[in-house]
Chains A and B, each alone.
Chain A
């Protein structure tokens, strides 16, 4: 009887961890009052982040190479219009969601030693997606 109970408990724990694993959205992080979320490894996480993107005014997507494949270890810096660093060199990717107030920002992203700079305007409506692509994988 005891053995059967233990077995049932183990099966339950495994089922729990499986559902948690499949649906888990990466935990958001907050640096200097800016909340961001990074992830996108595996199709389940990509789907979860895409569903969550509506809650973040800015989505950054990083890709490289001729097939536009995801890149994962990108250093991201976001500055406001005055040049003040809001988010300093955080590691992220392939998708990074950022909570930013409406306004103009500069996104600086480094991958494989190559830096890309992009201006982006975030509106009150949100839903802004910025793809940063490195031609060389």
Chain B
């Protein structure tokens, strides 16, 4: 059931991008054999000597405008790492923490490297003028749903307790456990027969999202992503 769907989406995208290219004129642009624009290391399309202002091809020209610093900052939350902005903007910044880097399997005790990771997170949150910190724990699909919900909530609480111990206002922290709902890697994705290999395969499911709402003074880094 999933395969026909995926194939359909891929075909549709391909057709769309072909249509967009065919509608444009390549004059003024360096293109490869498949008529894709050649880009510089900064993602800008490489112009030929014939290029003049007003010429456009594919998505080449809007890009420098988006990168221009004088544009007004957008209010919507940005999940992607952004360039530092001149003025602090209120936004929700989600961090994704691998729970395997914080806890051993089925354990509630923070590992030393987990404490270090949370120390870095705490100092990053402290730098923001934060209004709320939401921590949602996620579990892999092994085990029962009720156990996984409880486990993911307890681990989120353990992270909250640690951050509170590092000076983050406990009154602004809320905690939730999603269990294995919406797991990105399913048992069907893992062909592993051995339990250890299965647990390893399901590693991305064991994570926590930490969403900080507030004024970010400094560009967020997703250095904890694993």
Taking Cβ atoms with an 8 Å cutoff, the residues of A that contact B are 10, 13-14, 17-18, 21-22, 41-45, 64-65, 67, 69-74, 93-94, 111-112, 137
Contacts and interface: CB of A to CB of B under 8 A. Distances in A.
Nearest to B152: A41
B51 interface: no
Interface residues of B, number: 22
Main secondary structure on B side of the interface with A: helix
Given A18-B162, A41-B154, 14 more contacts: A13-B165, A14-B165, A21-B109, A21-B161, A22-B109, A41-B147, A41-B150, A67-B143, A69-B147, A71-B147, A72-B149, A74-B146, A112-B146, A137-B145
A22 B151 CA distance: 14
Contacts of B154: 41-42
Given A17-B161, A41-B108, A45-B108, A10 B144 contact: no
- The listed residue with most A CB atoms (<10 A of its CB), out of B106, B143, B144, B167, is B144
Contacts of A137: 144-145
B151 A14 contact: no
A73 B108 contact: no
B108 A72 contact: no
Contacts of A22: 108-109
A45 B158 CA distance: 13
B48 interface: no
